[in-house]
Amino acid sequence: AQTVTQSQPEMSVQEAETVTLSCTYDTSESDYYLFWYKQPPSRQMILVIRQEAYKQQNATENRFSVNFQKAAKSFSLKISDSQLGDAAMYFCAYPPRLSETSGSRLTFGEGTQLTVNP
C-alpha cells in the first residue's frame, strides 16, 4: 500500500528564518505528482506547491521550494523568510495512481504543525 510519512509532528521557526519540513513516501509508480498543502487553524486547505516526478528540477513558488529526491522517495518543503502567516499544519500528499482515466485520490501524511515565532 502506498504510504506517506511525515516524521516531524511539530516544528518551530523564527520569523524571517528558514525551515524545512520532511516527507517520505512509498510507491511503485514511475510517474506521479507530489503535493504540499497548508491548513491554517480553522481555515480551509490550500495547495502550496506541487512537483511532477518526471521533472528533475525542484519546484519553486516564491518563498516555498521543494527538495525532491526520487530515488530516496523524499519530498521536503523549504520555507524561506518565514512569516507569521505561514503558521499552519502542513500536509504532504501523494496520489497513488495518476492517469486521465483513473482516480487521483490523495493519500496524506500525518501533518507537521508549524509555529512561527515573532
Partner 1 sequence: DTGVSQDPRHKITKRGQNVTFRCDPISEHNRLYWYRQTLGQGPEFLTYFQNEAQLEKSRLLSDRFSAERPKGSFSTLEIQRTEQGDSAMYLCASSLYYNEQFFGPGTRLTVL
- 108 makes contact with partner 1 (CB under 8 A): yes
- 3 makes contact with partner 1 (CB under 8 A): no
112: which 3 cell numbers?
507537521
Number of residues that bind partner 1 (CB under 8 A): 25
Residue 104's CB is within 10 A of a number of other CB atoms, namely 12
Q: What is the DSSP letter of 110?
A: -
Residue 77's CB is within 10 A of a number of other CB atoms, namely 24
Among 24, 58, 67, 107, binds partner 1 (CB under 8 A): 107
What's the CA gap between 23 and 91, in Å, rounded? 9
**Positive or negative torsion for Cα 26, 116, 46, 10:** positive
Q: x/- binding map, residues 27-66, to partner 1, per CB under 8 A? A: ------x-x-x-----xxxxx--x----------------
Among 67, 74, 106, 115, binds partner 1 (CB under 8 A): 106
CB of 43 to partner 1, least distance (A): 7
